[in-house]
């Protein structure tokens, strides 16, 4: 700074030309002219270092693009930068869009986003959970989102069903009770519209499972009679149904914060959410495509009527009585109330033991002395013991 001031004083004296003054101070004439021009324009403040940042950037976001993205964000307040950009790219394929990090900075600047609190994550187990999602309708996922109350004081339990392969949200229904009576019509309508899946994955809670033999519930028995395999995640392992659990966070943000004034209005919100989730919301796991582009109905149509399970000809077949028991070799061992009026197959084993099956599910063993010993609910084959 002192050298710059002395250079300017020498120039102001006018005794020496610019070239000679610059030579004595060891700077180029270009530098000398620069400092002289700054002092003439800004006074002594011109000798301070100025920011070297460019006044404009050739790759900066244009005001038009910025306004378009901000309007889209206000319309979709729960979408992040990647989903906003993917949606804008589909709508305006020729538009030059910024990077996700640039849009994230823009949203923060405008006060339209806040940083999420870091979440601790468990180490995933290596099992068959993700490999089962081979094609549309190979596995449907179902669960209840935590209940809440609508403005009219009615309890709302959102029952959601999604396709594991495409993430297509098949159903999102506001039911008042978590039971088989409320859940069965929701699944029946889904089967009628989209056909039958190969399997349905759920947790171990009601109405999907019970404390009866093999964890069978009336809803699960209905699925088995329709030819649908049961997949239950391990207790305390919601990550095994993680792609479906993730829907619930988005569902809460978009439809229940705060809840609607009435139960009917809440269902209308769910229907709008399902349309947006399937038709408009980009999904990173689908290369920012929408679930509807990857889903198609099942080739297995819903027959409506249930079919009785079929068993090998060398098995004994019994119909469970109304009290949950069967008649077996002069005895009436109790099997399960869940299987009342259903037919079961009895397979002869070694040492006088007989395995009891309902369709493909083994529900227990008949012992010649100890009677019926039920099979407790177990993790599905292939699941990690962790």
Domain boundaries, the chain: 2-47, 63-109, 140-293, 316-374
Percentage of the chain lying above the pLDDT 70 cut: 91
Q: With a threshold of 0.85, does the pTM exceed it?
A: no
Q: Taken in order 186, 204, 178, 144, is the CA torsion positive or negative?
A: negative
Q: Range with the lowest mean pLDDT among 52-61, 63-72, 171-180, 205-214?
A: 52-61
Highest mean pLDDT pick, 51-60, 90-99, 153-162, 227-236? 153-162
Q: Range with the lowest mean pLDDT among 8-22, 177-191, 342-356, 358-372?
A: 8-22
Residue 276 has pLDDT above 90, yes or no: yes
Closest CA to 209 of 245, 233, 244: 233
The domain made up of 140-293 has a fold known as Nucleotidyltransferase; domain 5 (3.30.420)
Predicted local distance difference test score (pLDDT) of residue 108: 85
Residue 284 has pLDDT above 50, yes or no: yes
Residue 287 has pLDDT above 50, yes or no: yes
Predicted local distance difference test score (pLDDT) of residue 376: 59
Residue 96 has pLDDT above 90, yes or no: no
């Amino acid at each position: 700074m002192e050298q710059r001031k002395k250079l300017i004083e020498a120039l102001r004296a006018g005794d020496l030309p610019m070239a000679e003054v610059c030579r004595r101070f060891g700077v180029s004439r270009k530098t000398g002219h620069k400092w002289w021009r700054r002092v003439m324009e800004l006074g002594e403040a011109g000798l301070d270092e100025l920011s070297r940042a460019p006044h404009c950037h050739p790759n900066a976001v244009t005001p038009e693009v910025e306004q378009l993205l901000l309007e889209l964000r206000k319309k979709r307040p729960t979408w992040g930068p990647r989903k906003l950009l993917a949606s804008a790219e589909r709508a305006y394929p020729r538009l030059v869009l910024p990077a996700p990090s640039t849009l994230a900075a823009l949203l923060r600047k405008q006060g339209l986003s806040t940083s999420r609190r870091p979440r601790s994550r468990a180490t995933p187990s290596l099992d068959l959970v993700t490999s089962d999602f081979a094609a549309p309708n190979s596995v449907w996922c179902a669960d209840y989102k935590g209940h809440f109350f609508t403005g009219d004081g009615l309890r709302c339990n959102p029952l959601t069903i999604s396709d594991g392969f495409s993430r297509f949200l098949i159903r999102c229904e506001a039911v008042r009770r978590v039971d088989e009576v409320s859940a069965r019509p929701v699944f029946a309508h889904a089967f009628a519209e989209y056909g039958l899946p190969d399997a349905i994955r759920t947790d171990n809670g009601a109405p999907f499972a019970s404390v009866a033999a093999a964890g069978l519930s009336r809803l699960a028995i209905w699925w088995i009679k329709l030819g649908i395999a049961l997949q239950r995640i391990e207790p305390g392992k919601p990550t095994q149904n993680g792609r479906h659990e993730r829907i619930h966070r988005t569902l809460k943000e978009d439809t229940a914060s705060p809840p609607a004034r009435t139960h009917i209005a809440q269902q209308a919100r769910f229907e709008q959410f399902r349309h947006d989730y399937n038709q408009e919301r980009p999904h990173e796991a689908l290369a920012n495509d929408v679930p509807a582009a990857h889903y198609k109905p099942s080739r297995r149509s819903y027959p409506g009527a249930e079919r009785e399970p079929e068993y090998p000809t060398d098995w004994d077949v019994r119909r469970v009585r109304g009290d949950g028991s069967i008649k077996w070799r002069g005895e009436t061992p109790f099997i399960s109330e869940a299987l009342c009026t259903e037919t079961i197959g009895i397979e002869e084993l070694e040492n006088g033991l007989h395995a009891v099956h309902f369709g493909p599910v083994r529900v227990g063993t008949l012992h010649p002395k100890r009677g019926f010993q039920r099979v407790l609910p177990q993790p599905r084959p292939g699941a990690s013991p962790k």
